[in-house]
């Protein structure tokens, strides 16, 4: 029996050490987790509006389209267009409107 007492004592000491190590590491992990989530707390950053409202705001602002420098150069057609320019522009406007309508319906 006397030989078991040191073994049981060392076992209890090892369990206490593992417990203290676990407590220390979990507190360090909690500190880092809190530091990483700090920007997402409601106190520190205002919530963004929902995506649908963000799209409505962007459409209401109606920002001018940025045109690349190489796209500003003039282009000459090699052959005369079959469809008149005004009709082609109207068709393009209508198709863009349909695309926007589909995008709004699909986002709901």
**Stretch 26-54: mean pLDDT, rounded?**
75
Highest mean pLDDT, choosing among 38-42, 44-48, 90-94: 90-94
What confidence score (pLDDT) does residue 98 get?
Answer: 79
Highest mean pLDDT, choosing among 2-11, 34-43, 95-104: 2-11
CA distance 79 to 90: 21
Residue 51 contacts residue 107 (beta carbons within 8 Å) = yes
Asked if the model's pLDDT at residue 74 lies above 60, the reply is yes
The chain-wide mean pLDDT, for the chain, equals 77
63-70 contact pairs (CB < 8 A, 24+): none
CA distance 31 to 24: 11
Query: How confident is residue 87, by pLDDT bands cut at 50, 70 and 90?
Result: confident
């Amino acid at each position: 029996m006397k030989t078991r007492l040191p073994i049981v004592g060392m076992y209890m000491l090892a369990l206490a050490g593992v417990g203290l190590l676990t407590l220390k590491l979990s507190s360090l992990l909690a500190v880092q987790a809190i530091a990483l989530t700090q920007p997402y707390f409601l106190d520190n950053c205002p919530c963004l509006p929902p995506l649908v409202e963000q799209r409505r705001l962007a459409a209401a602002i109606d920002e001018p389209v940025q045109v690349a420098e190489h796209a500003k150069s003039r282009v000459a057609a090699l052959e005369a267009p079959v469809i008149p320019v005004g009709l082609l522009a109207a068709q393009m406007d209508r198709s863009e409107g349909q695309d926007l309508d589909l995008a709004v319906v699909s986002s709901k």
